[in-house]
């Protein structure tokens, strides 16, 4: 006699009806990230730190704006400082040209005197390579050093003569000096009031070299400032890198003409080579001369191309670091101990009764108390399970003994009835006693199955119906009268409340089939087919089919008393089914369909 393991007993008394059993795999699977304690604690901390993060971002943005403005101011001041010598030379040349334009008219008719005046100015101001007067005709005859040149067909001269205003222009190849020059021109008013020509002073670019920036300028030591000057037409005058390499430092998408109209301004742009530079435009001579300083945009604090976002990154990194600390703290202080406790609870709930050491000595006091409570609970449950298992075992033994004694008593009654039937003289009495004996033996067989079954809560239909069929056929067989029995019994578990009436119904139906069964054409033995099968999982059907004699119509009434029909109907009523009979093609069939009763009902009646 075997007993059920404690896990089954625990499931029977500890699991509420209707609740599914715990899946061990599901119990041990880690929950999604969004459901973990560390994530939720970090999320709440993130919400709590959000106002501080916003304040940090606002302050960082203000700091970044202030830094940009300071950088622009420093670059503008440095641009003015570096371009001051060039501006001084050009202002001085403009003043000299204006003074010479007012005093040169009396000398225009005397070529030698005019040359001498021009040569004198060039001698006292060696920064001028050529000092000259160019009339409207373009025939230069008055110049320092007695130089003469015909500009009448010169396109550069024609562009100057069409706009009779003081101007500063660049000629990349001066026809007299043969070098790149900055030409300062001032119109000369003739005797009749009209313009007669221009006084021009040529400043070689070699005399306008840029001044190196000071170490204390406020720009980073790694910066390399570059400076250019240009006139109101956007014409480049000087460049600290040289005019031939000026394109390397000029903005690609911003023209110098746009900077003339913009006045003093600061902006960031990329050069033609893709280098990002910071620019500052400063008017040197208002409306006439402008200076443009630039410096590469350098990475700050090692952030690479994200240097402009460094204040925001600092706040974001601090915010992320706080979240990481919260996550690690939750994992070290709470999550790992809760996970151990959850695994132990899940393992215990799934049936395991081995409770390992939870190792919660370093856990917070509250979690240690929960672990101790779990250990006390498991000890109590294991003790109660042991007592309950012992009680159930005792009841099982008693119930088996009851079934065993009932079976023995019923077999004894059947034996007494068999002895009595042998003494009977009339066939009617013998048939009646034999029918009663078969019914008693059917009941004995049911109790035998209940005694031999393992679970006590159910009976396997194939074993029970097979034993009853074998018993009835052996009692009905005799020399010269044998039967061919075909059985198909499904292994359906039945509660005792259904096993008893079903076995008695089979007894009555099979007894009737044996009584009236006839062999099939060409065969010597009557064939009886017995079938018990599930229909849709919740219903089952018992059917008995046998061949019939043409001259007799079979009925489920032994000896014509009607008792068999009444018993069959009564047993079917106990099962909640209805008996159907029919005769077709020489075969008589008896079938009964009923609903299978859930085994929980049988379990509760046996345990309570």
Higher pLDDT, 536 or 29: 536
Q: Would the pLDDT of 443 be above 80?
A: no
What pLDDT is stored for residue 30 in this prediction? 63
183 shares its domain with 225: no
136 shares its domain with 229: no
Q: Would the pLDDT of 9 be above 70?
A: no
Q: Would the pLDDT of 219 be above 60?
A: no
d(C-alpha 566, C-alpha 574), whole Å: 12
Q: Domain boundary residue among 191, 208, 225?
A: 208
**Average pLDDT of the segment spanning 515-533:** 85
Taking only the tens place, the pLDDT of each residue in 149-195 is: 888 888 778 777 777 788 888 776 777 777 777 888 888 887 676 78
Which token pair is 272?
């033609």
Instruction: Please tell me the total count of domains within the chain.
Output: 3
Q: Would the pLDDT of 82 be above 90?
A: no
In a domain, 463, yes or no: yes
d(C-alpha 497, C-alpha 445), whole Å: 14
Q: Would the pLDDT of 515 be above 80?
A: yes
599 shares its domain with 559: yes
Alpha-carbon torsion angle 478, 483, 488, 491, nearest 10: 0
144 shares its domain with 172: yes
Nearest 5°: the CA angle 135, 136, 141 is 25
Higher pLDDT, 519 or 212: 519
In a domain, 20, yes or no: no
CATH of residue 187's domain is 3.30.450.20
Q: Which among 68-77, 100-109, 221-230 has the top mean pLDDT? A: 100-109
Phi, psi for residue 197 in degrees, rounded to 5: 170, -160
> Domain of 516?
390-607
Q: Domain boundary residue among 285, 306, 327?
A: 306
Residue given tokens 């940009």 in the structure block: 68
Taking only the tens place, the pLDDT of each residue in 97-137 is: 888 888 888 888 888 888 888 888 888 888 888 888 888 88
Q: Work out whether the CA dihedral 126, 128, 130, 131 comes out positive or negative.
A: negative
**Average pLDDT of the segment spanning 360-365:** 80
Q: Which residues of 427-455 are buried (b: 16+ CB within 10 A; e: fewer)?
A: eeeebbbbbbbbbbbbbbbbbbbbbebeb
What pLDDT is stored for residue 31 in this prediction? 65
In a domain, 487, yes or no: yes
507 shares its domain with 407: yes
398 shares its domain with 269: no
180 shares its domain with 136: yes
Judge contact between 564 and 501, C-beta under 8 A. no
Which token pair is 154?
């010169």
What pLDDT is stored for residue 400 in this prediction? 79
Q: Work out whether the CA dihedral 98, 100, 102, 108 comes out positive or negative.
A: negative
Judge contact between 140 and 150, C-beta under 8 A. yes
152 shares its domain with 271: no
Mean per-residue pLDDT of the chain: 77
What is the Cα Rg of the chain in Å? Answer: 59
592 shares its domain with 473: yes
Higher pLDDT, 598 or 378: 378
Judge contact between 593 and 535, C-beta under 8 A. yes
In a domain, 422, yes or no: yes
In a domain, 329, yes or no: no
CATH of residue 523's domain is 3.30.565.10
Q: Would the pLDDT of 216 be above 60?
A: no
Judge contact between 21 and 15, C-beta under 8 A. yes
Q: Reduced to 3 states, what is the DSSP secondary structure of residue 510? A: helix
Closest C-alpha among 403, 405, 475 to residue 439 = 475
Which token pair is 141?
């005859």
225 shares its domain with 275: yes
d(C-alpha 511, C-alpha 517), whole Å: 10
- Looking at the chain, the whole-number percentage of residues with pLDDT higher than 90 is 7
pLDDT band at residue 534 using 50, 70 and 90 as cut-offs:
very high
In a domain, 37, yes or no: no
What pLDDT is stored for residue 210 in this prediction? 47
In a domain, 591, yes or no: yes
Higher pLDDT, 561 or 225: 225
Q: Would the pLDDT of 592 be above 90?
A: yes
Q: Domain boundary residue among 208, 233, 249?
A: 208
d(C-alpha 576, C-alpha 594), whole Å: 6
564 shares its domain with 506: yes
What pLDDT is stored for residue 104 in this prediction? 85
Q: Reduced to 3 states, what is the DSSP secondary structure of residue 362? A: coil
**Average pLDDT of the segment spanning 304-311:** 52
In a domain, 235, yes or no: yes
Least confident of 139-143, 199-203, 361-365, 486-490: 361-365
188 shares its domain with 224: no
d(C-alpha 281, C-alpha 259), whole Å: 7
Q: Would the pLDDT of 556 be above 50?
A: no
Judge contact between 183 and 113, C-beta under 8 A. no
Phi, psi for residue 267 in degrees, rounded to 5: -160, 170
Q: Would the pLDDT of 607 be above 50?
A: no
Judge contact between 588 and 516, C-beta under 8 A. yes
């Amino acid at each position: 006699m075997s007993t059920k393991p404690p896990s089954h007993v625990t499931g029977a008394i500890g699991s509420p009806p209707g609740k599914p059993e715990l899946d061990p795999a599901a119990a041990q699977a880690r929950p999604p990230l969004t459901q973990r304690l560390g994530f939720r604690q970090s999320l709440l901390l993130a919400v709590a730190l959000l106002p501080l993060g916003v304040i940090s971002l606002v302050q960082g943005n203000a700091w970044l704006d202030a830094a940009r403005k300071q950088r622009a101011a420093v670059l503008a001041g440095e641009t003015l400082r570096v371009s001051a010598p060039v501006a001084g030379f050009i202002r001085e040349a403009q003043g000299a040209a204006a003074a010479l334009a007012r005093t040169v008219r009396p000398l225009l008719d005397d070529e030698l005197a005019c040359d001498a005046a021009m040569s004198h100015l060039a001698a006292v101001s060696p920064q001028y390579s050529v000092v000259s007067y160019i009339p409207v005709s373009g025939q230069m005859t008055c110049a320092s050093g007695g130089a003469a040149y015909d500009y009448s067909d010169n396109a550069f001269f024609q562009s100057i003569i069409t706009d009779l205003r003081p101007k500063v222009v660049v000629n990349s190849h001066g026809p007299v000096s043969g070098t790149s020059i900055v030409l300062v021109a001032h119109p000369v008013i003739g005797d009749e009031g009209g313009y007669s020509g221009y006084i021009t002073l040529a400043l070689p670019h070699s005399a306008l070299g840029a001044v190196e920036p000071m170490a204390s300028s406020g720009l980073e030591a790694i910066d390399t400032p570059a400076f250019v000057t240009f006139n109101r037409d956007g014409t480049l005058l000087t460049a600290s890198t040289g005019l031939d390499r000026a394109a390397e430092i000029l903005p690609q998408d911003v023209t110098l003409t746009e900077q003339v109209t913009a006045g003093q301004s600061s902006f960031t742009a990329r050069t033609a080579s893709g280098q990002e530079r910071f620019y500052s435009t400063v008017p040197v001579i208002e409306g006439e001369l402008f200076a443009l300083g630039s410096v590469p945009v350098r990475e700050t604090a090692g952030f690479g191309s994200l240097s402009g976002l460094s204040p925001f990154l600092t706040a974001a990194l601090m915010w992320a670091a706080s979240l990481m600390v919260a996550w690690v703290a939750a994992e070290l202080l709470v999550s790992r101990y809760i996970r151990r406790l959850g695994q132990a609870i899940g393992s215990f709930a799934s049936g395991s009764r081995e409770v390992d050491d939870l190792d919660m000595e370093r856990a917070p006091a509250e979690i240690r108390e929960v672990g101790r409570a779990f250990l006390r609970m498991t000890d109590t449950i294991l003790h109660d399970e042991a007592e309950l298992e012992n009680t159930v075992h005792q009841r099982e033994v008693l119930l088996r003994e009851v079934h065993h004694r009932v079976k023995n008593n019923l077999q004894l009654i059947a034996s007494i009835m068999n002895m009595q039937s042998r003494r009977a003289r009339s066939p009617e009495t013998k048939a009646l006693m034999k029918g009663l004996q078969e019914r008693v033996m059917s009941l004995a067989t049911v109790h035998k199955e209940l005694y031999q079954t393992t679970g006590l809560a159910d009976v396997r239909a194939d074993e029970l119906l097979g034993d009853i069929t074998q018993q009835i056929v052996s009692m009905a067989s005799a020399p010269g009268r044998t039967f061919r029995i075909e059985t198909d019994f499904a292994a359906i578990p039945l509660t005792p409340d259904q096993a008893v009436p079903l076995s008695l119904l089979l007894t009555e139906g099979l007894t009737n089939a044996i009584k009236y069964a006839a062999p099939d054409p060409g065969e010597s033995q009557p064939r009886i087919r017995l079938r018990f099968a599930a229909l849709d999982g919740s219903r089952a059907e018992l059917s008995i089919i046998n061949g019939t004699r043409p001259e007799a119509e079979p009925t489920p009434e032994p000896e014509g008393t009607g008792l068999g029909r009444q018993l069959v109907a009564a047993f079917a009523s106990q099962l909640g089914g209805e008996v159907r009979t029919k005769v077709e093609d020489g075969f008589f069939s008896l079938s009964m369909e009923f609903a299978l009763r859930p085994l929980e009902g049988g379990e509760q009646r046996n345990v309570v």
